[in-house]
Amino acid sequence: MYRWLFRVVLIFFSLSTGVLSKDYDLKQILHLAETHNRDIQLAKAQLQIASAEKLSAYSQAIPKISLNGGYNRNFLENIFYFRINDQIQSFKTSFRNEFSFNAILSQTLFSYKVGVAIQAAKYFSRMTNYQYETTRNMVLTQVKKAFYRALLLQEVYRVAKDSEESAHENYLNIKAKFESGLVSEFDLLQAEVRWQNAIPETIKARKDVELALNQLKIMSGIPLNEEVTLSGQLEIFPPLPAAVQDESITQTHPEIAALIWEKKLREKNVTAQKANFFPSLNANLQYTYRAASDRFRLEQDNDNIILGISLQVPVFSGGNNIAQVRKARAEVDIVKAQLNKTRDNIRIQLRNVLLRLQEARQRIDAARHGVETAQRAYEIALTRVNNQLATQVELKENRVALDRAQLNYYSAIFDYLDSYFDWQYVTGHVSTDESF
């Protein structure tokens, strides 16, 4: 009865304090990252800015209507007196209350800047879309690496903990033999040193796991105080990808595409700066209503409808327009240099990633052979223990050796996956469904 009550209390306490961990696989982590990652959220905000810029550009070609109403109160009366046929006449030049209302419809008839601005807004939108895709690919690549790094470090911690336990058991065994006079004090001290040296490695491995999980939580938007359990396997990895042509990548990579559209945008900016030399033609249709009275009434009123056309011709700007054109051309040259540099970097990255993939793949085969050897040694040690030819400590040591061989195998797989995710990013084929 008390045992069941204790279990109920323990479960309630775990639920209330959030101790119970939640399982996450890679697909769930990637989905959370796409929704909550700060860098992706900033990139999405840039998409909203691009949409607003496009709307602002189109608004320059759309008619504009403005309304204006006003009221003035005069505290002094201006009265003029004059004589006509020996009679004194008077009239007011102002009234105590003056009312006004204006309605203006304005339309740009011709402006080279307007057409250029609309095209530039389209280019800016395309550039921003590719920049968002670049940021998304970069974040998802980092999240994948962080996920498998956490899995690997969990295995490192498990092996370190087993090694510490094995060293401790060996120390206790040697201590019992020392107290029985079967071994020397030197053997006891060696066993204790091995055990004490294993403790810091376990502490460090546990710390590395916590740091990796915290980093993964930040990248995917999981609260830091939430306990998580990662669901994944390091044994599964994709085959070596097929070779791809450099030119196909440099044409489809989102980072390069973003620079291509930025170059077009900068070139359009040169045209926009040249548009400052062209005249602009605007039309205005204005309705004006005015009234004046010494009382709060609409008296002495009049209204007008006026149609006007204005032509603005730039003549001299002190050299500012010429300077802006030169600056815009320099910005085009800068983007061209960045584009060429990025293409070269991607070509180099592609070759380096393929070399890393091939090297990691060879290490996987070698590490697998090491695991098979360690597995055979462990089976032999198990047989010896069953036949009372070896101790449990020796069996534990062989088990730790097998775990370390398995850890080397996992490390090689992680390096392969790390390179594979870089290959996905370089080729522009980052996926959220990693079903190898």
Q: How confident is the model at residue 146 (pLDDT cuts 50, 70, 90)?
A: very high
Pull the structure tokens for residue 41: 């959220």
Q: Is 126 exposed, middle or buried (0-12, 13-18, 19+ CB in 10 A)?
A: middle
- Residue 197 inside a domain? The answer is yes
- Residue 191 inside a domain? The answer is yes
pTM above 0.85, yes or no: no
Q: In this predicted model, what pLDDT tens digit does every residue of 256-270 receive, in sequence order?
A: 999 999 999 999 989
Over range 109-115, report the average pLDDT: 82
Q: How confident is the model at residue 381 (pLDDT cuts 50, 70, 90)?
A: confident
**pLDDT > 80? residue 117:** yes
Same domain, 120 and 233: yes
- Residue 160 inside a domain? The answer is yes
pLDDT for the residue numbered 153: 93
Same domain, 340 and 219: yes
Same domain, 300 and 328: no
- Residue 156 inside a domain? The answer is yes
pLDDT for the residue numbered 353: 92
**pLDDT > 70? residue 116:** yes
Same domain, 190 and 294: no
pLDDT for the residue numbered 4: 43
The CATH code of the domain that includes 342 is 1.20.1600.10
pLDDT for the residue numbered 9: 39
- Residue 23 inside a domain? The answer is no
Same domain, 82 and 178: no
pLDDT for the residue numbered 1: 43
The CA distance from 350 to 257, in Å, is 17
H or E element, residue 103 = strand 97-110
For 349-381, b/e burial (b = at least 16 CB within 10 A) is bbeebbebbeebbebbeebbebbeebeeebeeb
How many structural domains is the chain composed of?
2
Same domain, 219 and 242: yes
- Residue 16 inside a domain? The answer is no
Same domain, 155 and 138: yes
Range of the domain at 34: 30-60+111-278+314-427
**pLDDT > 80? residue 171:** yes
pLDDT for the residue numbered 81: 57
- Residue 293 inside a domain? The answer is yes
Cβ contacts of 390 within 8 Å, gap of 6 or more: 381, 384
Over range 415-429, report the average pLDDT: 91
Same domain, 287 and 374: no
pLDDT for the residue numbered 276: 85
Map residue 412 onto helix, strand or coil.
helix
Q: How confident is the model at residue 11 (pLDDT cuts 50, 70, 90)?
A: very low
Same domain, 88 and 118: no
Same domain, 413 and 307: no
**pLDDT > 80? residue 18:** no
- Residue 323 inside a domain? The answer is yes
Same domain, 161 and 172: yes
pLDDT for the residue numbered 80: 60
**pLDDT > 90? residue 214:** yes
DSSP output for 320-338: HHHHHHHHHHHHHHHHHHH
The CA distance from 63 to 48, in Å, is 24
**pLDDT > 90? residue 415:** yes
Same domain, 182 and 89: no
